[in-house]
Amino acid sequence: MQKSLILLSLLAATQAVAADKEKPFSMDGEFGFISTSGNTDTTSIKGKLSAHQELEMWSNDYKVEALYKKDEVNEESTTTAQKYFLSGQGNYKLTNPDHRIFGFVSYEDDRFSSFDYQSTIAAGWSQKVWQDDNSKFNYSIGPGYSFAKRQTGESENGAIIRASLGYQLKISDNAQFKQLVSTEVGSDNTKSKSSSSISAKISEGFSLKVSLVLDHNSDVPDGKENLDTQTAVTLVYTFF
């Protein structure tokens, strides 16, 4: 009887450890849609795919985002927002797996910004500062190079310093808070982004997410705003 209890305890402990272990691959899909008609005609669509890959020597993150909005202006239907963003970061684990060397690439096409496109490559130091049952925090910093083209046709390419941090807090068994901040400092322009979100699980695989995204460029032409804000309520589905 005593041996059976010991075996059951060991089995339960093993299962608990396996449950807490980070998944080798996870992916979330996010979608928001708003359509109004009558006195005001608008259509807004927001989509996002986020994936995380945890391997023995690598920890990788991938993102694809899209935003589209159409409004009725002077009794004509006009596109008022169209933005696409892609990024990927690979983190190579050193002897201490919390210490890493990262490589990062991104591409952004925002039709209504002062840029035709903005792209970045960077590499440097990345570290998982801590991760426990309720929270985790990591950062990365290193040199890179930016490629950008203004709507005027002028190219702006140059060296940058890129830094980012990510924080995640488990509020309850069904809710969590995430904060992501990044900045790319260059001689021509400093591009910064902040993404804050709270998500709550509403059923198996589905969550409701409220987010606030701030995009800032230090150098913009007259008539353009330095700061773009985006507030959204979206439905998130966890594929894996």
Which domains occur in the chain, in start order? 26-238 (2.40.160.40)
For 135-184, write each residue's pLDDT tens digit.
Answer: 999 999 999 999 999 888 889 899 999 999 999 999 999 999 999 999 99
User: Which amino acid appears at position 4 of this protein?
Assistant: S
Q: What is the pLDDT of residue 10?
A: 40
pLDDT at position 74 over 80: no
Residue 165's pLDDT is 96
DSSP-derived 3-state class of residue 173: coil
| Helix and strand totals (H; E) in the chain | 1, 12
Evaluate the CA torsion angle 36, 37, 42, 45 in order and state its sign: positive
Q: Is pLDDT of 11 > 50?
A: no
Task: Please tell me the distance from the alpha carbon of residue 123 to that of residue 71, in angstroms, as a whole number.
Answer: 40
**pTM for the model:** 0.84
Distance in angstroms (rounded) separating the CA atoms of residues 146 and 157: 6
**Structure token pair of residue 50:** 């986020």
Taking 3-state DSSP, the helix, strand and coil percentages for the chain, each rounded to the nearest 5, stand at: 10, 70, 20
User: What is the pLDDT averaged over residues 29-44?
Assistant: 82
State the Cα–Cα distance between residues 212 and 201, nearest whole angstrom.
18
Is the predicted pLDDT of residue 47 greater than 80, yes or no? yes
